[in-house]
C-alpha cells in the first residue's frame, strides 16, 4: 500500500511529461504530401465584411456567417501544406490565415465573452494550461492548437518576425486583424503594411522625442526581432518617429480585452 502511494504521483508526472512532449512535437508533423493550396476567398470575403479598418471585429454579426466560416475552416483543415511543393509564401499565408480564422471561430463559439483568456481550461494541467494549447481543431486529420501553429511552425520553420504583426489573438493590444486574407502573391506587401500600421499607431506603440513605450510583443518575442539587428534598428525600419540610440525603451501593459470595441 505504501508502494502504491509513492508510485502513483510519479506515474502522473511521467504521463504529463509525455503529454508535453507529444504536444511539443505535433506542430512539426502538421502537413500532407500532394495537397493542394486552398482558396482563401471565403475568408477574404468574411474579413472584408466584419472587420473594420482599425482592426475591430464585429463578432456579434459575424455569427450570422458561422456556417460559411466553417466551410472555409474545413477547406483549410483538409488541405494542410506540402512543405516540399508549396512555396514559402503559400505556406506562410496558409498558417497565418488558419491561425486567425480558428481564433475567430473560437470566439464565435463562446461569444459574448470579455477576453479570450476567459476560455483558459480549468483545472490547469502542465502543457495545456491556456486556451492556446487547446486542440480544438484538426489539420490534416491531426489534433492541433493555436500554440502549435504559432510556436512550432510559424516561429520555428520560417524565422519571419513580421508574423507577429499578422496573427491576431482577438485582444485589444494585438496587432490589428487585417480586413483581408493573406495571399501568397502579395504577402510581403501585406506584412510590411501591417508593420507600418502596428508600429505607428499610439494605440499599440508610443514613439516620440520624450518617450518610447513599445508593445509587450517586442519584449516577449525580442529574440525574433533581433537576430540580425538591434530592437531599435528593427522598429526604426517602420517607425515614422525614429528611436534614438540614447533613448530607453519600456513596454506597455497588454490589454487582453476582446477586440470588439
Q: How do residues 7-19 score in pLDDT, each as one tens digit?
A: 334 333 333 433 4
C-alpha cell at 161: 518576425
Closest CA relative to residue 207, chosen from 230, 228, 236? 236
Q: Is 254 inside a domain boundary?
A: no
Residue ranges for the chain with pLDDT beneath 50: 1-27
Contact 109, 100 (CB under 8 A): no
Question: What pLDDT sits at residue 128?
Answer: 66
Q: What is the pLDDT of residue 2?
A: 29
Residue 28 lies in a domain: yes
pLDDT at residue 248, rounded to an integer: 96
pLDDT at 121: 87
Q: Which residues contact 105 (CB under 8 A, 6 or more apart)?
A: 66, 69, 70, 73, 137
If one counts the domains in the chain, the total is 1
Pair 125, 16: CB distance under 8 Å: yes
- pLDDT (0 to 100) of residue 24: 44
Q: Give pLDDT, residue 125.
A: 64
Rounded Cα gap, residues 50 and 241, in angstroms: 32
- Reading the block at residue 141, the C-alpha cell is 486529420
Give the pLDDT score at 17. 38
Is residue 57 domain-resident?
A: yes
Chain segment 37-73, per-residue pLDDT in tens: 999 999 999 999 999 989 999 999 999 999 999 999 9
| 243 domain-assigned | no
Question: Which residues make beta-bridge pairs with 115?
Answer: 257
Residue 43: burial class (beta carbons within 10 Å; 0-12, 13-18, 19+): buried
Rounded to whole angstroms, the Cα distance separating 76 from 28 reads 17
Helix (H/G/I), strand (E/B), else coil: 150: helix
What does the block give as the cell for 202?
Answer: 499610439
**Nearby residues of 159 by Cβ (< 8 Å), 6 or more positions away:** 224, 227
Say if CB 55 and CB 177 are below 8 A apart: yes
- 123 inside domain: yes
Contact indicator for 157, 31 with CB cutoff of 8 Å: no
- pTM of this prediction? 0.88
| Separation of alpha carbons 189 and 58, rounded Å | 25
**CA angle 231–232–238, rounded 5-degree value:** 100
d(CA 175, CA 154): 16
* DSSP annotation of 17: H
The answer to whether the Cα torsion of 116, 119, 121, 124 is positive or negative is: positive
Domain span holding position 51 = 2-201
User: Cβ distance 147 to 4 under 8 Å?
Assistant: no
Amino acid at each position: 500500500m505504501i508502494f502504491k502511494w509513492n508510485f502513483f504521483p510519479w506515474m502522473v508526472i511521467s504521463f504529463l511529461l509525455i503529454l508535453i512532449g507529444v504536444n511539443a512535437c505535433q506542430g512539426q508533423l502538421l502537413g500532407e504530401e500532394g495537397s493542394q493550396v486552398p482558396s482563401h476567398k471565403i475568408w477574404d470575403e468574411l474579413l472584408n465584411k466584419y472587420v473594420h479598418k482599425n482592426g475591430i471585429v464585429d463578432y456579434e454579426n459575424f455569427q450570422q456567417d458561422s456556417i460559411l466560416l466553417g466551410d472555409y475552416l474545413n477547406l483549410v483543415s483538409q488541405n494542410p501544406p506540402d512543405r516540399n511543393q508549396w512555396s514559402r509564401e503559400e505556406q506562410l499565408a496558409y498558417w497565418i490565415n488558419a491561425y486567425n480564422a480558428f481564433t475567430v471561430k473560437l470566439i464565435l463559439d463562446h461569444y459574448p465573452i470579455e477576453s479570450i483568456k476567459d476560455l483558459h481550461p480549468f483545472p490547469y494541467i502542465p502543457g495545456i494550461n491556456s486556451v492556446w494549447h487547446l486542440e480544438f481543431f484538426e489539420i490534416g486529420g491531426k489534433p492541433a492548437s493555436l500554440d502549435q501553429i504559432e510556436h512550432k511552425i510559424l516561429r520555428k520553420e520560417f524565422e519571419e518576425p513580421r508574423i507577429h504583426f499578422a496573427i491576431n489573438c482577438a485582444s485589444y493590444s494585438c496587432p490589428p486583424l487585417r480586413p483581408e486574407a493573406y495571399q501568397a502573391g502579395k504577402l510581403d506587401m501585406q506584412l510590411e503594411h501591417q508593420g507600418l500600421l502596428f508600429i505607428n499607431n499610439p494605440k499599440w506603440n508610443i514613439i516620440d522625442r520624450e518617450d518610447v513605450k513599445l508593445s509587450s510583443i517586442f519584449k516577449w518575442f525580442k529574440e525574433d526581432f533581433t537576430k540580425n539587428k538591434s530592437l531599435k534598428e528593427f522598429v526604426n525600419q517602420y517607425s515614422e518617429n525614429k528611436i534614438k540610440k540614447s533613448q530607453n525603451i519600456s513596454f506597455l501593459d497588454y490589454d487582453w480585452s476582446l477586440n470588439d470595441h
